[in-house]
A and B are shown apart, each in its own frame.
Chain A
Amino acid sequence: MKIFNRRDFLKTSGVAAGGLMLSSGMLKAAQNKSGVTLNIAMVGIGAEGEVLLNSLLKLPNVNFVAVCDIWPVRKTYAFRRIFKELKQKAKMYEDYKELIANHAKDLDAVFIATPDFWHAPQTVDFLNAGVNVYCEKMMSNTLEGAKSMVRAARKNKKLLQIGHQRTSNPRYLYAREVLLRKNNICGKIMACNGQWNRAVTADLTWAKKQTIPDETLKKFGYSDMAQFRNWRWSKALGGGAISDLGAHQIDIFGWMLGAHPSRVMASGNRDYYKKPDGTPAHDWDDNVMCIFEFDKTFQGNKAQVFYQVLTTTSSGGGYFESFMGDKGTLKMSENPAITKLFRENNVPIEEWDKLAKNGVIGTGDADSANVKTADARESAALMSYGFPATVPGFDAEKPIHMYHIENFLGAVRGENKLSCDAEHAYEAEAAVFKAREAISKGPLEFSEDDFVVSD
């Protein structure tokens, strides 16, 4: 006799309620199923996996069926956290294929936070086994891998959410819909810039006692423990800073502007992190700067986006994305303390005061514009404004990834659509890969003659 599991319940109740299986595989039901406990598994309990775990442990109606990691110390860490906080005993696996073989039929969803090169095979295998997938970005270390994930989601009519968590963040949704579109607060956005600048960090190490045996490392695609710990810098396994950090923000530029970039130029530099022999320590660039050109944004005009990701300095206030229009600038960040609005001086102060009074934006800071100009051609400093004190759905106490996970679990329950499905995430994937290609093609070269006036 077939055991009637939770996934069957979701399917049955969804269909019984007159719901339709959407192309994305989302269960659409008339009734609210937020009370339905979902069986989930986690594959990859590294730094990012732990971030997801922290959020998942705070959510109701989640049953951890299994956790998987090739590093025993991380796998058991997740097991212990889950037991201590939820009294649930998750099964532990080293190989995700065993997890699929033993539990796929009972699973509603899996969270994948492994190194990039594992994303495509693991996601495809879980989707083929009928499990909805939340996969961390980048989708894959190859475009083909990313495409295979999209195709597997389509073929299996299952959900595939990619971890660009900003698209579920109420503050970002508010900025996109209410500020940029409804209130046109920036006016015509002709340029954007963004950055993720991170201070110098040493390569990750590990306790000798926790070294994974060589045969296990080889079996799962790593040459040694150092590569396992620092896979992000390896061309064979990860994508470097432009992928790890940049992909989030490059995705946001396209999402906010409502368009795909048309062209990109880029420059990379790996002259900082060195091996003892003086050669670059990492496969990928330490620092990347790029310019994306958009031919038609949601406002119908062209726009240029300058983006930089630096791993040699934390200068410039960490990470943000700025949208610069002729009426104002929106400087967005996942960090509310960095988020600001700037009013261009051609906009009457009364206009923005009215918006502040109505709670659309926060109050202005007159001191921010109190900067003496040094040149007659210099524009006067802009007055800054905060975000409104309350943004619908935003809770300052919530971890920033939780909204995206809630969105995914809501979609699994048939309550909402995914905010970043694989079809959308692939657009950012393509932009990042094209930027890398632009780096490899290289810029125009100067010769010494260019700087010398001959007789």
Chain B
Amino acid sequence: MKSNITYTMAFWLLRFWLAARAIGTGLTKFQGKVNAEVPNMEKVKELKELIAAGMSETEAKAAVAEMPDTVEKIVDTLSFSFYSGLPEKGPMTVETFSASPLMPAFAVTPYSYMLGFALIGLGLTLLLGICTRLSLFLMGLLYVSLTWGFIVLEPSMGPSAAAGIAYLGVHMVLIVGALMLADYNRLELLPCGKFRMCKCSCDK
């Protein structure tokens, strides 16, 4: 392990950024909208305003009694039931990719099932410092696969697919940079080479 606090801080920044990016993106795959009862903030505000206007608290409470304590609101929530690895609508659905001659149709659905879990899993291993190099490498492969998806769709999507490719390219540069700085890593739960199964030739 090399020692240089500046490089260590640089690696940590990349580690946390890439982890946050992967975990956040993975979680959005589980996001959906539900009707939920939320506190009626209008009632709270009204009560405060009445009291501020000089009404006694008892009277003010009576004046807002007809207002419901909670109101139904459509809120975003996370649930396994909402999981969708590839988008359900738009140009990047399972159906679109399955129909492409550049994609192995049999692999699209399993890939869609795996994508969200893989993003979260790799993000967590990177964040916690579990086999950091391997995590970074697998994350890089995952972004390569996503890039391939944009390449496949580029003829139909046009410039927005090209922008997606460039956008993922930035991620790749960050991952490569992180790999190059990995020797300066600190605070790992499971450092590289601790177990036989993950021994590598890195400079530990």
Contacts and interface: CB of A to CB of B under 8 A. Distances in A.
Interface in A72-87: 72-73, 75-76, 79-80, 83-84, 87
A209 interface: yes
Interface stretch (B62-70, B136-144, B159-167): B62-70
A414 B65 CA distance: 40
A207 B63 CA distance: 19
Contacts of A72: 66
A447 interface: no
A207 B64 contact: no
B50 A207 contact: no
Contact of B64 (A75, A80, A209): A80
Contact of A83 (B50, B65, B68, B71): B50
Interface in A190-229: 207, 209-210
A83 B72 contact: no
A137 to B, nearest CB: 29
Nearest to A208: B72
Contact of B46 (A75, A80, A210): A80
A80 B54 contact: no
B53 A207 contact: no
B88 interface: no
Contacts, number: 29
Contacts of A210: 66, 68
Nearest to B72: A207
A84 B64 CA distance: 13
Interface in B66-104: 66-68, 71-72
Contacts of B65: 76
B54 A76 contact: no
Given A80-B46, A207-B72, A87 B67 contact: no
Contact of B63 (A80, A87, A209): A80
Q: A-side binding surface: helix, strand, loop or mixed? A: helix
Nearest to A75: B66
Contact of A73 (B49, B53, B67, B71): B67
Interface residues of A, number: 12
Contacts of A75: 66
Nearest to A74: B66
B66 A207 contact: no
Given A207-B71, A207-B72, A83 B66 contact: no
Contacts of B55: 83
Nearest to A71: B66
Interface string B39-65: 000000010011001110000000111
Nearest to B46: A80
B67 A76 contact: yes
Contacts of B54: 87
Contacts of A83: 50, 53, 55, 63
Interface of B: 46, 49-50, 53-55, 63-68, 71-72
Given A76-B67, A209-B68, 5 more contacts: A75-B66, A76-B64, A79-B63, A80-B63, A207-B72
11 contacts: A72-B66, A73-B66, A76-B65, A76-B66, A79-B63, A80-B64, A83-B50, A84-B49, A87-B53, A207-B68, A207-B71
